[in-house]
Structure 1
Amino acid sequence: MNNIRALGLALCVIPLFVAAEQANDSLNQQVNEQNDSATLYQRYQIWLEDTLLALGADGQYDPSKGIDWSVMPGPFYTPEKSFGIGVSAVGLYQVDADDHTTQPSSFTLSGFGSVNGAYGVHIENVNYFSRDQYRLAINAQLVDSPDIYYGIGMDAGINGQREDYNRRTYGFSVLGQYQILSNTYLGAGFNLSSNTASETQLDADSEQSFPQRQTHSGVTVSLAYDSRDFALNATQGRLVKLDYTQFDQAFGSDNDFYRLEFVYSDYLPIAAFDDVLAWQLKAESNVGDVSWDQMALLGGAAALRGYEEGRYRDKNLLMMQVEYRQSLAGRHGMVYWAGAGTLADEFNQLGDDPWRTTLGVGYRFEIKKNVNLRLDYGLGNDESGFYFAINEAF
């Protein structure tokens, strides 16, 4: 009888030991999986940090390097360009190595290439000399890419027939400025551009038709008040700028007209959260024989994100936008914005036609000190847009 009882007890206890062993094995497996996951995450962190360092995206600025570079590639997709790769690079440097108070000069390069053969390069170089007594800005671009044309005016952009064509653009501008008062600069420069339209299906007699090639050159006079702490990503200060550009056949331009551009940008630090509230008002007026490629444009990466650049164009523009720039942990941040803009044939008619509005959100990653990689998504009235770039929209 005792043997039977012992056997019965063993039959009861053995499954408990087996279950405990299985539970222990399962626990060990979970711990090992967690350790493996932790190891994989640590490896990913190490790989990411090494990659960012190799690209120069260390979140710092080292003037001893001469030009301190950072390069960031990224994929994109648009209906016109299809799939492609964009590359944005920024180099910071001091013109005078002994000047530790003037903001760094910058060299920004943005390029893209897509599977359908579209490509483009945009270069922006801003230099600060003699403790910011002199400034020199140089811009150049080359673009060969599908583009869109709806016609002239807000109504054409809303109700017009879309025309797809291929645009080749060459552009160059230079502007030199001299400080005449505290934070106040007077400048002069030169502007040259050439636009060629091809593969267009518009009839030559169509109201939407446009010359297939236009070349324009003109001289610019600029007056600016600029108290921003850092032009690429201001956290405080103000920019008030008025530019006058005269395009004339005497300078080699196909058309005679002039352009007035006014920009007011303000940056208010929110000290309690280390955030920034930024807003901008922009107006543009083109007067004279203005061709299709020299009209004021709504849309794109800087002016009313969320709309395709080229859809809305006319001689005169009024636009405003406001951003809340939020700092997160480490080098991360977010941006939230709202904006509105309109166009008109005459400046005094601005506001008579419908306004286009935009709301958007963006992610920021600091690749150099105060220089951000930005990923933005803007939502317009009837379309949206995704943007990958370096530096803020304004």
Structure 2
Amino acid sequence: MKNTLALLLAATCSLSVYAEEKELTTYERYQAWLNQMLLELGADGQFNPDKGVDWSVMPGPFYTPEKKFGIGVSAVGLYKPDLADTVTQPSSVTINGFGSINGAYGLSFSNTNYLSHDKYRLFIDAEIMDSPDVFYGVGMNAGLNNDRVDYTRRTYAASVKGLLQVMQYTYVGLGFEFSKNEASDAEIEDPQNPWVGQSLAGFPDQQFSAGVTMSLAYDSRDFALNASQGRLVKLDYTHFSASLGSDHEFDRVAVNYSDYYSPDLLDGVIAWQALLEANFGDVSWDQMALLGGGSALRGYEQGHYRDRNMMISQVEYRQPIGGRHGMVYWVGAGTLSDQLSELGQEKWLTTVGVGYRFEIKQRVNLRLDMGFGNGESGFYFAINEAF
């Protein structure tokens, strides 16, 4: 009798479970599948320092007129160099790669280390890329004319920078950077255009640049990858020298001012940034200041507008919308000039945009941004905030 009752109870439970499974909607099944996939990719919204490097990997498709259709993969890993240090923000390593159907490929690596309770900081960056690209010439007018030279660009670049804390939130440091750009298979869209010959005169087959950087930074941000409060004021001076093998000798001054607020009246973060870059001397075409791209002035193709000097300002509102989801809205403006004294007198390019955020690691977001500029637009898939 007991065995019969047990069988009846088991059958009843099985029918109940079956009924619950039958009640699952298509959306619920999809949600369960998606959650499982995110867990397998490491996108659990958490950070476990005991894992060593706690990784998350996110693939995604893309399309651009030059690269055509392709697949990009972004990976971010968080880690603690000292597990006993519970105060210092995690160090990070970010790897971005892509490949497209026309043979374009690229791989970039970025590593940020906070050492000895943030007394020392070490930054390592590297990039390799072989991809179709576009050169519109130098200067705001050249970019506005939209007369282009299509070519293939192969890039090798790397930089290392070390910082030492000298006061609270204040760091000084030294670094070294080099890049090699090779241009080939140039095709002129309009050979009769008068600026093309002059532009191509400064467009050699290859260009090597190497420089030493001195840095001064004030950084009170609570988390560099996605700050909710604090401020960054950074000044970099780089000297590119023939004694280091550089094909051109010139100097660069770059200033980055970024502020982050979490106001009481708004649920979220307001982030503001101003960038200034000035180049002096014999600056090569590939080392000019660039407007556009996924970080500065989203909505414009990076390199469409280039010149010796650049100024950009952008502000965005980062709004949580529940759970691990969020939205971002931004506006921005930027301009270029040949002479630093003339910066701001040329036409200003504006951008507006909206983006979606999904927290893949603790305070580390996958971002999908759509930016709109003056007659241009851009879609961006990446990990970490734009600034």
TM-score normalized by structure 1? 0.90
Aligned mate of 1:119, from 105, 112, 115: 105
Q: Distance between the aligned counterparts of 2:323 and 2:344, measured in 1?
A: 43
Superimposed CA distance per residue, residues 53-90 of structure 1 (whole angstroms, 9 cap, x where no aligned partner):
00000000001101000000000111111000010000
Q: Which amino acid aligns with 2:331?
A: A
**1:364 is matched with which residue: 352, 357, 381?**
357
Q: Which residue of 2 aligns with 1:201?
A: 187
Pairs within 5 Å for 1:306-345: 306-345=299-338
Contact preservation (8 Å) 1:273, 1:327: no
1:12-31 Cα deviation digits (max 9, x unpaired): xxxxxxxxxxxxxxxxxxxx
Q: Distance in 2 between matches of 1:54 and 1:198?
A: 41
- Mapped contact 1:378–1:386 kept (Cα < 8 A): yes
Alignment pair present for 1:385 and 2:363: no
Equivalents in 1 of 2:62, 2:146: separation in Å?
27
After TM superposition, give the deviation of residue 390 of structure 1 in Å.
0.1
Spell out the pairing of 1:169-248 with structure 2 (5 A cutoff). Answer: 169-202=155-188, 206-209=197-200, 210-248=203-241
1:205 Cα deviation (Å)?
8.0
SS in 2 for 1:309: coil
Secondary structure in 1 matching 2:198: coil
The structure number with the bigger radius of gyration is 1
Aligned-partner SS, 1:206: helix
Report the CA distance between 1:38 and its aligned residue. 3.6
SS of the equivalent of 1:362 reads strand
1:273 to partner: Cα distance: 4.2
- Displacement of 1:271 after TM fit? 3.7
Match of 1:101 in 2: 87
2:359 maps to 1:373: no
Find the counterpart in structure 2 of residue 266 from structure 1: 259
Q: Hey, what's the Cα distance between the residues in 2 that align with 1:348 and 1:187? A: 29
Question: Aligned residues: percent identity?
Answer: 63
Distance (whole Å) between structure 2 residues aligned to residue 358 and residue 272 of structure 1: 26
Matched, 1:59 2:45: yes
1:357-391 CA-partner distances (Å, limit 9, x unpaired): 00000000000000000000000011100000000
Give 1:3-18 correspondences, 5 Å limit.
none
Name 2:283's counterpart in structure 1: 290
What secondary structure, in the 3-state scheme, does the structure 1 residue paired with 2:34 have? helix
- CA shift, 1:44, in A, is 1.2
Aligned letter for 1:83?
F
**How many residue pairs align between the two structures?**
361
What secondary structure sits across from 2:32 in the alignment? helix
2:72 to 83, 86, 96: 86
- Counterpart AA for 1:107: V
Q: Where does structure 2 lack aligned partners over 5 or more consecutive residues?
A: 1-19
SS of 1:101 mapped into structure 2: coil
Please tell me the root mean square deviation across aligned C-alpha atoms, in Å.
Answer: 1.5
Partner Cα separation in structure 1 for residue 316 and residue 34 of structure 2: 29
Q: Which letter maps to 1:331?
A: R
Q: Is 2:137–2:196's contact at 8 Å kept on the other side of the alignment?
A: no
Q: Displacement of 1:40 after TM fit?
A: 2.2
TM-score (norm 2): 0.91
Which sits farther off after the overlay, 164-173 or 154-163? Answer: 154-163
Is the CA contact (8 Å cut-off) linking 2:155 and 2:180 kept in structure 1? yes
Q: Distance in 2 between matches of 1:184 and 1:274?
A: 30
